Amino acid sequence: MRSKAVVGNWKLNGSLAANEALIRALLREIPRENPVACAVCVPAPYLAQVRALLEGTGVAWGAQDLSRYVQGAYTGEVSGPMLVEFGCRYVIVGHSERRTLFGESDETVAEKYVAARDAGLTPIFCAGETLEQRERGETNAVLARQVDALLKRFGVAGLDRGIVAYEPVWAIGTGKTATSQQADEAHAFIRARIAAKDAGVASRLPILYGGSVKAANAAELFAMPNVDGGLVGGASLVADEFVAIWRAGMNAVRQQPK
């Protein structure tokens, strides 16, 4: 059985006071031991605070990006080993906002994935198409290009301890959500693309859905056979919403055939 996860991406949000209130609210509802991994990926300046609040709890933490470099004259960069020193388990690589707003290429994203794995982090590799690409019928071609760049750089075995997140760019922060069928079809395509290289890796690989995941749609999305949880944006900043999404993941696990 593939592992399940619900991961919050706070993006460029937070303050010391707001972070503490949010995390304490989450910890009142999310137990230490559970079958659905729960984590928050936070802005780098808050990693020390989040570590202090979450260490020893049922909620893990991670970063939203990392450098492809380990050290050197790269002002402003944050390396994988630095994130490890703050207890990070996860790091997001290739989020659509990094690709579109900051010009990260498929090759750069692949290098960051390698840097994350080399540091001992679990990378959450994001892939997805724009609205224009979907309307032109290019969804599968875009996903293939993004996944193939990673496979070319790192090989299929490198995905065996990673996570993929399908995030249709047109559904991120827009209030629009891919239908559960659209999401499952994209996840199935990604899984098949990887299975062509190694069926075992593909069968074990968690693929999360990211794109305006909310409490109202999480249960339907997570019930799909190829959807293994969610990468949650805005809703992860609201404790009740995020807990409800995590509970939808728990319910999906309970309903799986034994």
Write the pLDDT tens digit of every residue in 118-162: 999 999 999 999 989 998 999 999 999 999 999 999 899 999 989
pLDDT at 170: 87
Q: Which residues have a catalytic role annotated?
A: 95, 167
CA 193 to chain centre: 19
Nearest-angstrom CA–CA distance, 112 and 121: 11
Q: What is the pTM of this model?
A: 0.96
68-107 burial code (b ≥16 CB/10 A, e <16): beeeeeeeeebbbebbeebbbbbbbbbbbbbbeeeebebe
* Residue spans of alpha helices (H) in 155-256: 180-195, 199-204, 215-222, 239-254
Write the pLDDT tens digit of every residue in 21-32: 999 999 999 999
Write the pLDDT tens digit of every residue in 196-224: 999 999 999 999 999 889 999 999 999 99
Q: Which of 5, 68, 16, 15 is nearest to 40 (CA)?
A: 5
Nearest-angstrom CA–CA distance, 187 and 165: 9
- Stretch 87-99: mean pLDDT, rounded? 97
- CB neighbour class for 135 (10 Å; exposed up to 12, middle 13-18, buried from 19): exposed
**Confidence class of residue 256 from pLDDT cuts 50, 70 and 90?**
confident
Q: Which of 50, 10, 24, 73 is nearest to 237 (CA)?
A: 10
Write the pLDDT tens digit of every residue in 230-239: 999 999 999 9
List Cβ neighbours of 224 (8 Å cut-off, separation of 6 or more). Answer: 180, 181, 183, 184, 187
**What is the percent of the chain with per-residue pLDDT over 70, rounded to a whole number?**
99
Nearest-angstrom CA–CA distance, 125 and 165: 6
Instruction: Please determine, for residue 186, whether its predicted confidence score (pLDDT) is greater than 80.
Output: yes
Question: Which residue is listed with tokens 């995030």?
Answer: 167
Nearest-angstrom CA–CA distance, 116 and 80: 6
Identify the structural domains of the chain with CATH numbers, from first to last.
Answer: 4-254 (3.20.20.70)
**Confidence class of residue 258 from pLDDT cuts 50, 70 and 90?**
low
